[in-house]
Each structure stands twice: as structure tokens, then as C-alpha cells.
Structure 1
Amino acid sequence: MRFFYTILFSLLLGNILTICAQSNSEKIDIIEQNLKSSKDFMQKNLDSSFFYANRAQLLSQKIDNDTLLAKANIQKSSVLIFKKGFNEADSLLQGNLTKRLPLHIEGQTLHNLGTIQYYKQDFEKALDIYLQAAKTMEKVSNSKLLVNTYTNIGTINSILKNFKNATTYLERALPLSEFNEILRLQILVNLSNIYKEQKLYKKFSSTILEAEQLAEKYKSKRSLSAIYNNLSTHYSEDALNNPELDYDLSITYGKKSVAIKKELNLIHSLGLPYNNIGHSYLRKGQYQTAIKYLDSALPKSQGLLKSYVYNNLKESYEGINNFKKAIIYADLKDQLKDSINNAQQKEKVAELTEKFESEKKQQQIDILDTKTELQALTISQQKYLLIVLIAFGLLFLILGYFGFQNYKTKQQLNTVLLQQKLRKTQLNPHFLFNALQSIQNFIYKNDKEKSSSYLSSYSKLIRLVLEKSDDNFTSVADDQLAIESYLKLQQLNQNDSFSYTVTVENTVDEDFDTLPTLITQPFVENAVLHGLKNVTNGNIAVSYYKENAMLFVSIKDNGKGFEVKSEESKKLHKSMSMNIIKEQLENLNRTSKGFNGDISIHPSQSGTKVTLSFASK
């Protein structure tokens, strides 16, 4: 091996010395020949392919040709991607983007950058880059370059379950693939899978049968194995809108798939074709034969496929009146299904928790950034004062004084706005972690209905609080949804010790009438935590209505009003955040044109009513 590399190095050195004495056209021909050699070796020997790509890159640098160097970088990056040298490949391609290059070269560069992200399984980022590549290459109408990009866009959309987009791009790629039947075979297989997912059976049949012909022509056994598997599944599916149900064909294709998989030693993937064959024999009433194939499928199946095998075994044993074994497999299927559902629920809770923690960290970063801005404002103010005093002195004392006062007022207003933003990030409900713990308890108790309902309320509240917290105003519809989700979770935390109603009168346009963001939640929170504390049959009524172009929000409870113990007064103040809300309204009244907001509180022995009023914005 050392001898081989010594020879390659000697050849490279000799070519570089020779190229110095050659004309530009001869030098370009040599570089193009090296690029062609690298492409020829791509499927045979990656080390040789890399050698020729690297050689083309070095020679391009010698003649100072940006276009040739960019082509060499693209070819070298292609080899590096296959060798999983993603960082080096990315560096080469980013270098291409710093230069003004022909559109087809720029498009190829973007395509390879997308491929790097695809191999890293960052599909969203890969899709974004591939779309840029497609947009660039569409301008030069080069079908040979565009077909690969369209194919990869379709494949990623298929992975992300965006079947409509996947169909669009693969159907665009198909007519462009006439020059390369191997690539056409790949597109046909992917497209047939998507048609099958969408239950477009006629398109599925025509597409996969063409794929079968190409796979047989080129003796592509792996492709044939997948095609036979899909055809076996297709002909055995008991779908109401499947006009091509044919159990004999399903068995034939299933056995073909099994034979090829055994030949290729793909033993781990035999579960699906064995199940298809067993299912077809079951539907034909040949129960003993069905059991034989389903027994073969069982040890090679996982997850959902295994539950299908259990169900088919149950029905097969019922067919031969062996009800004891049928019950065993029915129980196994139910246990596996419950296990899968529990795993999915836990995964969803974990995902929500991770998202909440991530958003919480981002809020902490925002708080630090806001504090930094406040410090910068203070420093800037001090510097400005010093400059004014030195520059203008006593001669312009009065003018300087009024100018400074005007500047100081603006700075104070900016400070108030920044402090309001800082405080608003702290308005998110602190009960959320308790609610999440309660939801997890329902999941562990396998109470699917309650856990699903409360998870929905939890996710809606999280989304609304985090998405709307930076906006000054929100719609009545969003505020109503947030309050309903919040009260539902509070019912969970309070063991359903109170009831509530949230109504919107016909005079209110839910989507266009607005009110300050997060202003109603603290009053509702106070009603729950303090107004209804130790109250049986508590009730909270929230109502949105309009009178004379004024929007009103009424929050009423049947609790004990404000007659609370002195030691609870601090809790009331903390829960209500009254100073923050008053400051928020005062600032909005001052800065938002046409807006005027007010709060009125009416405590009584039978409860408390808080009325918020807002002039139309």
C-alpha cells in the first residue's frame, strides 16, 4: 500500500511539473480528465477517486481558474461525503459560495451541501438547501443536474410524511430520468411507495410494474426484493377501496421476496413477507398453512408488525377451532398494543417536557440579554451626559439641560419597555410543572382519555404563552383558548373542586377584537388560588362582551371576596401582579394610538367580580 501511494505521489508531482510547460487549453484538458477519472472510480475505489479529485484541485489552483477549482471542490466533496468526511466537504463547498460562479456550478455546490445534511439526518435543513439548489438549477434548465435534486427533495418529504410534496417533486423528476434507467428505477420505487401510502392504487400498480421490469432488466436483486414485498402487501390488503385484492398473487410475490432475501442473507427482514403470505392463506381459509408462515414471521417481527402477526395467528387458530391458542395470541396482541401506546405517550410527554425546558432556557437567555441592554443604556446615558457637559459648558447650560431632560425621558420610556418585557417572561404560570406531573400519573395509570385531553390543554397553553408573550396584543379567540386551557389544568391540580364557564357574546369578533396579552390570566389565577380557597362548589365565570365599541372582560367567582387573612395578602399581591398589570396598561395607554384600558374590582360577601375594559384598538 505504501508503494502504491509512492507511485501516485510521483505521478502527481510529475504532472504538476509537466503542466507548467503546457498551454492553458492543455492544462484544462488534463484537469477535466482527472475529474472524469475520479467520477469513474466513485463506485469502484473511493481512495483512487479521492486521489484524482485531489489532483484536479491542486492543478486548478496552479492555473488560477475559479470555475475549474469549484468543479474540483464539488467532486472532492462528493468523495468525502461517501467517506463521511462531512466537515472537510462542507469547508470546500462553503469556499465555492464565496465566489461568483456559473449557476450550474452554484446549484451543484448547494446540492452537495444539502446531501451533507441529509447524511447527518438533519432533514429540515437538508430540504431547505435542496430547494435553494433546485431554484438555482431551474434557471439553467439542466435536466441531468436537476433530476437528482428533485429526487432528494421528494425522498426527504416522504420521510417527513409530506406525501403531497413528495409526489410533486418525484413526478417532476421522473420524466427527467430517461437518460439514466438506474436512477429512474430508484424514483419509480420511491414514487410507488408514496402512491401506496395515499391509496392511489392505479398509479401504484402502473409505477411499481414499470419498476419491476427495470429491476429485472438490470438484475437489481435488492430492488426486486422491495418491489415483490410491496406487491405482496398490496394484493393482500383488505382495504375497502382496493379493487386489486388477489391473495394468490400476494402469495406468489411474497414467496419471491422471501427467496431473494434469503439469497442476499437479509434474514432480519423476512418478517413482513412471511406475514403477508400467512395473511393471504388465512383469507383463503387454509389455516394450517397460514400458521406455518406466521410462526416463521413471529421471531423476525418487531413493534406494530408483531401485533399484526399475533392478530393473524389468533384468527388462524379460531379457524381450526383451537380457541385456547387463539385467546393466548389475542392477549399477546393486546399487551403489545398497550406497550406501544404507552411508549408513544411517554415519548410525547418527554417531547413536551424537553420543549418546555428549552423554551425556559431561552427565556433565561432573553432575561440576561435584556439586563445587558439596560446596563448599556445606563452607560450610554452617562457618556452622553459627560460629552454634553464638556462640549457645551456653561454657555449652553439651559439648552443642554432641556436636551438632557428630553433624552432622559426617552431613555426612561425605553427602560420601562425593556423592564416590561423582562417581567412578561416571568408571567408564565408556575403551576405547569405540577400539571405535567399529574398528567404523567394518568399515563402511568393507563387513563388514556384523561391523559390525552390534559396533554392537549397543556400543549395549547404552552404554545399560546410562549408564542404570544412578546406581542403587546392578542385576539379574543387566543385569550379565550389560553384561559380555557389554564382552567382545565387548574381543575386537574385542584381535583375538580370547582367548575367554570368561558363565554364570548355575539357582539365580539373573536378573531379581530384584541386585548393586552396575558392580562386576564392573573385575575383568573387569583380567583382559583384565593377566591375559591376552602370553598365547596366553587364556580368561575369568564365573559367577553362589547358595549358602545368598548370590549369588556368579566371574571367572576362565588368565593369569599377580598376578606382574606393578613398573612394571605402578600400571596394575593404576588398572584395578581397588580403593579405590573397597572404599569402594563399605563404604558399601552401612552404608547398605543386609540387604546385605553382600565380595571375595576368589586368584592362582596358572595364573591368577587373583576371587570377589564378596553377601547377598540
Structure 2
Amino acid sequence: MDKRDFKTLKTALDSVSPHIYALRNDTVLFMLLDFRIIQLELAGDYKSAKDSIMRALEFGYRKDTTGKFYISAETHLGEWYMRVDSLAAAIPYLEEAYYLSRKNDTTQAIEICYSLATIFGKLKDYPGLKKYLDAGWQLIPGLKYERESYTAQFACNYVGYYSDMHNPDSAYYYYDLVKRDTTFVAPYLRAGLEWNITPVLIDQKQYEKAVRNQIYALAIVNQYAPLNPVLYNSVGKNLLLAGKNELAIKYADSALSINTNDKRWDIEAEAWRIKGEGLSNLGLYSLAYRAMDSAVVKWQIQTDSSLLKHIHELETQYQVKEKDDKIKSLAQLNAANEKINHLKNVIISALIGASILIGIIIFMWFRRRQTRNLLRETLLRQQLLRTQIEPHFIINTLSVLQAYILDIQTDKAVRYLRELSKLLHFSFQNARHPFISLDDEMAALQSYLELQVMQGEYNITYKFDIDSQLNDLEVFIPPMILQPFVENTLFHGFKGKSDRGIIDIVISKRGAVLHCLISDNGSGYSHHALSEGLITKSHATTIIADRLRILAKQTGQPAGVNIVSNDQTTGGSGTTVELIIPYRLTP
């Protein structure tokens, strides 16, 4: 690729850049940056290429979610150090890229292995070379494309490794593996294969064959790459072994000529040494002495320049590390900002949730207050109801008392007045309390029934049957909860009936509730009337039913009223009222 090609590639990238930036697509943006790095490296503008690589690293830290962008950027940085001959500096970046690529299962891993193997081979670090040759070789079977190409490349490097290890059998194994593969005939790779087998031939003292292989390989390499003085020195050194001193001197002179621009002092020193040894073998000792003297001078310069180069590499590595630290700090700052934003969102969500919860609490509070007011209103109505005595009952009571007094039935009048006084006392006293003892409720009910019997309006007898468990246990129930149902029994069951009526009141304890039965043998209701809801309930019994429902919610115990006709249960006449009343052990 000549300069016009580089300029054309740069122009093409510059023209598409604005359109790619407008897309705001991270993948496409990174691909553009990747192409820019390649373009700058091909053009030999390594400084600008490195700046682009550092931008790619920063981009990978901030935007890359897959890891592939960052791996590619680190690979570029490692290969950049390879191109500027800072091999030791390239290793950490390429090794990190390799481990990341293996973790992310990318196809970049085998390319990184090949680059690392190349570096360790140049450094003569044979354990490192073998490690990455083996790692790359294991990846080859999983490749979908270029499997034959990578097989040949790694096999060629294995040849070089085993040649340097003086293991001819293994070297020839991989050498024959590539030679037998007629499908892959890349000349450049063939040249590398022949070059790498040379140390085995040298060990076997096949110097002329080794030299022929190297000259053949060098001719091919020169077609694809710039002239390399290192290769010319290598051929010259082996020519000395083959006894071809004149030709060795020519290759040394070629190495010196090629190295004129680069000024690699180690290469010049080696070229002068080869030339000096060839001249000495030819008996030209004066010229040989001057050549050897030049070699010593170049080695001294090389030693000094190597020290300066090492210092420069350290400075470069420090600068790169400083930039890496800045990139990582920026990434950590971005991560911290993301966490802060996430925390803000969490706090906002929590505040919204708290506001909703507070709204629900306020709503429930108002609802509870409303329910409490309703309950209070119900209690007040019940208290009002408890303070009221049926006007008809009062009139009848006073009429009977007047009759007793006029007939001078003093004992009956006194007894009658005593029962009336007790009933009024219980009525007014119990109205002040939401709960009264069962004994007080039964005493008030007994006074009421005694007055009804003494009035003579109803021909009845009554009987109380209290559970023996309640003799030693004081329980409390809502006041006046039984009397309205007894009133209904009298009015509906015995009004205008001459036959003697019987009222049985049975109270038993069942767990945390009282089971009350008020049974009579009066006229009763028909089963049809009860089942169809044709019987109109009194205002008092309706309120008591509501009171029992509220009591059930307060105590968590069952409560309710059930009215059944005896003809559906015992076959007799009359009605039975069943009440389930939760009780308390304290008023």
C-alpha cells in the first residue's frame, strides 16, 4: 500500500465519520475508531494511532457491556508496543486481553495467542512461547473460519520452538504437517517454515542445506515485507559455518546498508562481527581487525542506547499506566454516578410509596373514625332504647297497682310496687354501662316477667335454666339484650290466649360465647312466614341484631340471632329464639 492508498483510506474515513456520529450507535462508533487505528498504523503514524487507542480504551470502559470493545482496544495497545519494539510493555496488555477474551468467549483469543507467542519467541522466553502456542492450538478446532490458516501458522511456530529446543523429531512432525497440507500454499508461510527448520539443520551440520533454505525464504519474505537486516545477518552467520566467507561478507554488507536509516546498533555490531570473521577466514587480518574494532564500537553504542531505550520504555509505560489509571478512575466515577442516580430513583420511589402509604393510613384513620362515630351513635341509640319502657306496659302497671290499692290488697300492692321499683332501678342503672353482669340481666328479666304475671294480662309461667359452669364465673353481656325477645314472645305468643303458657329460658356456656334459648308454647309463627321474612321485627330486636354484629367484629367471636318455629324442630307449638352472645370477663 503506497501513500496514495493511505490518503484514500483516510479520506474515506473522514467522509463517513459525521454520518456515523449522527447514528449515536456505540457499536458502529467503535468500529469507526477501530478502522481509524488500523489506518494510522498502516500509515506509520504511531503517535496518532496510540492516541486513538487510548480513546478506544476509554470508550470501552464507559460504553462496553459485552467486553469485546475493551478487549479489542487492549489488543491494539499491545500490538502497538510490538510495532515500536517495546515487547516487554506489550505483554501485560495482551495477556489481560487474552484472559478477558477467554472469559467472554470471543474469537479474538487465538489472534492474541499468536501475538503473545510471537513476542515470547523474539524474547527467547521459551516457557511463555510454549504456553501460548499450546493455548492457541487448543482453540483451533473451535474455529468456523480460517482453521487451515491458523493450523499452519501455529505449526510453523512450533517448528521454530522445537528447533531452538534442539528437538528435531517434534520439529519435523510439525514441519511435515504443514508440508503435507497442499490446500494451504501461502508463500510467506512456506518461507517461515523453511526458515524455522534451519536450527535443526545446523544442529545436524547440514550447513549448505540450511543456507539454501534461508536464502529461499529470504527471497520470498522480501517480496511481502521491507528488507530486514536481522535476516541478512542470520544468513551471513550460517554462510560462515558453510565456509562461504565471501558470500557471508556480502550479506553482512547488505545488513549494514539496510540498517542505515534505522541505526540499530546491535544489528550493525553483529554485521561487522560477521564481516570481520569472514575477512579473518580469508586471511585479510588488517581488514578483519578494523571490522572487529567497528563491531566493538557499535556494541558499546548499543549498550548505551539500550539503557536509554529501557529508560524511555519505562517512561512510556508510566505514561500509559497513568492514562490507564485516569481511564479507570473515570470509569469508577461513572459507575459511582450511576449508583447515585440509582439511589436517587430508589429514594424517589420510596417517597412516592411512603406518600401512598400515608394516604392509605389517613384514609383508614378517617374510615375508622367514621365507623367509631357510627358505633357510638348505635350505642347511644341503644342506651336511649334501654332507658325507655313500653308506654303500654307502664299504663297497665299503674292500673294494676291502682286496683290493688282500691281493693285494699296491701300485700299484693307492696309486692307489685317492689318488683316495679326493681325493674326501674335495673333499667336506669344498666343504661349507664355497655356491659353488665349476667346476674343483673337475669334479675331485671325476672322482675319484668313477675310484673307481667301479676298484671294478669297473660296466663303464663316461666322457668330459668342457667348453666352450672356460670355459677362460679362472672360474665358480662350487653344490657337489655334478652328482654325485647321475651316481650315479643308475650305479645305474639300469648296475647288473647286463655290456655296457660310456658316460657323456658336456657343459658349455657360454649367456649367464649353464651348460647341462649327462649322457647314458648304459644301461637308462634308459621314456618312459611319465617322463611319468607314476612314477620316484621320490632325496632328493639333489629337494633340488638346490629349490636350483636358489631360485638362479633370487636371480639372476633361468632354472634347472632335465629328464630325458628317449633313445629319444624320438636313438632310442638310456639317459637324458639336462639341467641349467640360473646361475653367478657370484665365490664
Fold in common (TM above 0.5)? no
TM (norm. structure 1) is 0.38
TM (norm. structure 2) is 0.40
